[in-house]
Amino acid sequence: MKASDKKRFEMTAELFKAIGHPDRLAMLEQLLEKPWCVCELAQSLGLNKSVASKHLSLLHSMGLIEMEKKGTQVIYELVVPCVIEMGKCSYLAVLAEKKKRLEA
């Protein structure tokens, strides 16, 4: 394996780890609609604000979302919307496999 391929696979695996939590996937999907402040996003998803902040911090560190401070609020915005399609594709793959198992 080439070093460049190995690095690419490592980076992709890190991305999957970052989005590999149901709450983070839900956050990304909501951020696809519009920018949200952490307090609104936490309330919408039924999360504690500090838990939501930790999830958002991880997504931000991966470059999936951007944050902008507006007064006392921090507004988060999705900047890599294709990550939502990746999640949907993964879900469809899981459904297809479950369907195969049920039919067997």
Q: What are phi and psi of 47, to 5 degrees?
A: -110, 155
Average pLDDT, integer, range 23-43: 97
Q: What are phi and psi of 12, to 5 degrees?
A: -65, -40
Average pLDDT, integer, range 38-60: 97
Average pLDDT, integer, range 25-53: 97
pLDDT band at 76 (very low <50, low <70, confident <90, very high): very high
Distance separating alpha carbons of residues 25 and 28, to the nearest angstrom: 5
Q: What is the pTM of this model?
A: 0.85
Q: Is residue 97 scored above 90 in pLDDT?
A: no
Q: What is the pLDDT of residue 95?
A: 87
